[in-house]
C-alpha cells in the first residue's frame, strides 16, 4: 500500500520538524502530533456514490485544446533534474516560463486523434493563460508507456484555482488545489502551497486549504483519510494535507479515463469515469502566515508533467450556475 502514496507524502515530508517518525521516516501516525491530527476520525464505510442535480448544459462547451498546437496555454518547467526539486543543496534555477526547448509538452496523434502529450521527464505544467471560476471542466487522460521515476507510481494531476507566482511550489507549480491523477488514487485532493523559493518542506507556507468529510481507512497510509459523505469534516493540514478518493474508479492501465471537475464558489467535486470521488468545501487561500484568509473561487488550470508519460484529449470547459450534489447509498 505504501507505493500508493502521492508525491507529497513520500519520505521528504519527514524533513518537517516534529512530524517525522522514528528514524526520520515519512509521517506514519506514530508520533503524538500525528495521532492528534486524526484523532476522532470515524471509521470509513464504503458507499455507492451518485451525482445528482447535475448542471444543465446551456451552451456548447468551449475547447481548451484546439487539436493543433498549444495556443491558450503557457508552459512552466522546474529543474532540469527532477531530483533537485526537493534538494536544498541544489543550486540550479527553474527552466521557467515558455522555455520548453526539450518538448516536454507537445501535440501528438494518439489512437487516431490529437492529444496533448506530457512527457514527465522534466517536472512542470501547462497552464491556461486565462483564469476560470464556476465551471465544469472535462477531459480524458491515458497513461503512456514510460514512468521515469524509479520505485514510484505514475503521477500527474490537474491543479485548479492556480494563483500567485509561477513555480511557487518548489520552483515547479503554482499554488493550487490538486485533482490527483495516480493509479488507485485518481481523484485524491491535495493542497499545493508556496515554498518561498526554498526546496525543503520546512520552507512551505501551506496557504491553500479546504474542508472535507472523511472517514478513517487503515488500509491506506497515514493520514488514513478517505472522502466519506457524512463523515467528520476536517481541514487539510500538514502533515495530513491530502484526502484519498472515496473509491478507485480508474480504468486499467492503457485505457482512456474521463475526468470531470465541477467548481462553484468555494466548493468543488471530483468525478472519475462518472463516479464522484471527492467533495471539497470552503476552499481558501492566504498570502502567508498572519495574512487574511479569503475564499478561493477562481484561478488558472495546470496540467502537470510529473514523472510519467501522460496523454490528455477532449479538454473542454463550460460555465455552471450550481454545484452537483453527491449522494451516498451504503453497500
Give residue-wise pLDDT tens across range 38-72. 999 999 999 999 999 999 988 899 999 999 999 99
* pLDDT attached to residue 241: 87
How would residue 142 be classed by pLDDT, with cut points 50, 70 and 90?
A: very high
* pLDDT attached to residue 10: 39
Rounded distance, CA 53 to CA 63, Å? 24
User: Once rounded to an integer, what is the mean pLDDT over residues 292-304?
Assistant: 98
Query: Whole-angstrom distance between the N-terminal and C-terminal Cα of the chain?
Result: 23
How would residue 263 be classed by pLDDT, with cut points 50, 70 and 90?
A: very high
* pLDDT attached to residue 57: 87
How would residue 6 be classed by pLDDT, with cut points 50, 70 and 90?
A: very low
The three cell numbers of residue 251 are: 480504468
Mean pLDDT of the chain: 91
* pLDDT attached to residue 331: 57
What percent of the chain clears pLDDT 90, i.e. is strictly above it? 82
How would residue 11 be classed by pLDDT, with cut points 50, 70 and 90?
A: very low
State yes or no: pLDDT of 163 exceeds 50.
yes
Burial class (CB in 10 A: 0-12, 13-18, 19+), 257: middle
Residue 287, number of CB atoms within 10 A of its CB: 14
Which residue from 212, 205, 172, 216 is spatially nearest to 190, judged by alpha carbons?
212
139-155 per-residue burial string, b: 16 or more CB within 10 A, e: under 16: bbbbbbeebbbeebbbb
How would residue 2 be classed by pLDDT, with cut points 50, 70 and 90?
A: very low
User: Once rounded to an integer, what is the mean pLDDT over residues 321-328?
Assistant: 97
Rounded distance, CA 131 to CA 110, Å? 28
State yes or no: pLDDT of 143 exceeds 50.
yes
How would residue 122 be classed by pLDDT, with cut points 50, 70 and 90?
A: very high
User: Once rounded to an integer, what is the mean pLDDT over residues 120-149?
Assistant: 98
Alpha helices in the chain (DSSP H): 32-38
* pLDDT attached to residue 244: 98
How would residue 330 be classed by pLDDT, with cut points 50, 70 and 90?
A: low
* pLDDT attached to residue 26: 59
What percent of the chain clears pLDDT 70, i.e. is strictly above it? 91
| Structural domains of the chain ordered from first start | 2-330 (2.60.120.560)
Q: Which residue has the cell 473509491?
A: 247
3-state SS, residue 37: helix
More confident residue, 20 or 37: 37
* pLDDT attached to residue 262: 98
259, 245 Cβ separation under 8 angstroms: no
State yes or no: pLDDT of 4 exceeds 50.
no
State yes or no: pLDDT of 8 exceeds 80.
no
**What pTM does this model have?**
0.93
> What is the phi/psi pair of residue 14, to 5°?
-65, -10
How would residue 238 be classed by pLDDT, with cut points 50, 70 and 90?
A: confident
* pLDDT attached to residue 85: 93
Amino acid at each position: 500500500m505504501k507505493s500508493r502514496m502521492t508525491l507529497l507524502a513520500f519520505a521528504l515530508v519527514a524533513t518537517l520538524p516534529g512530524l517525522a517518525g522514528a528514524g526520520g521516516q515519512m509521517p506514519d501516525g506514530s508520533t503524538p502530533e500525528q495521532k492528534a491530527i486524526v484523532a476522532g476520525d470515524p471509521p470509513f464505510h464504503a458507499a455507492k456514490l451518485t451525482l445528482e442535480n447535475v448542471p444543465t448544459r446551456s451552451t456548447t462547451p468551449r475547447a481548451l485544446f484546439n487539436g493543433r498546437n498549444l495556443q491558450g496555454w503557457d508552459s512552466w518547467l522546474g529543474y532540469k533534474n527532477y531530483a533537485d526539486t526537493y534538494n536544498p543543496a541544489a543550486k540550479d534555477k527553474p527552466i521557467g516560463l515558455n522555455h520548453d526547448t526539450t518538448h516536454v509538452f507537445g501535440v501528438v496523434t494518439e489512437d487516431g486523434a490529437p492529444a496533448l502529450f506530457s512527457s514527465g521527464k522534466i517536472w512542470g505544467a501547462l497552464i491556461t493563460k486565462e483564469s476560470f471560476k464556476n465551471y465544469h471542466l472535462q477531459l480524458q487522460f491515458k497513461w503512456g508507456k514510460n514512468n521515469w521515476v524509479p520505485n514510484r507510481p505514475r503521477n500527474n494531476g490537474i491543479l485548479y484555482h492556480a494563483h500567485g507566482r509561477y513555480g511557487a511550489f518548489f520552483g515547479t507549480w503554482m499554488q493550487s488545489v490538486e485533482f490527483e491523477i495516480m493509479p488507485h488514487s485518481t481523484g485524491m485532493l491535495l493542497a499545493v502551497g508556496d515554498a518561498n523559493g526554498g526546496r525543503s518542506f520546512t520552507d512551505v507556507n501551506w496557504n491553500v486549504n479546504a474542508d472535507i468529510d472523511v472517514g478513517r481507512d487503515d488500509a491506506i497510509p497515514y493520514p488514513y483519510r478517505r472522502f466519506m459523505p457524512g463523515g467528520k469534516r476536517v481541514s487539510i493540514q500538514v502533515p495530513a494535507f491530502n484526502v484519498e478518493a472515496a473509491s478507485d474508479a480508474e480504468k486499467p492501465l492503457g485505457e482512456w479515463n474521463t475526468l470531470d471537475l465541477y467548481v462553484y464558489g468555494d466548493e468543488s467535486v471530483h468525478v472519475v469515469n462518472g463516479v464522484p470521488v471527492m467533495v471539497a468545501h470552503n476552499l481558501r487561500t492566504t498570502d502567508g502566515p498572519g495574512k487574511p484568509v479569503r475564499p478561493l473561487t477562481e484561478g488558472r488550470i495546470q496540467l502537470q508533467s510529473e514523472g510519467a508519460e501522460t496523454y490528455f484529449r477532449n479538454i473542454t470547459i463550460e460555465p455552471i450556475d450550481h454545484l452537483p450534489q453527491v449522494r451516498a447509498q451504503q453497500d
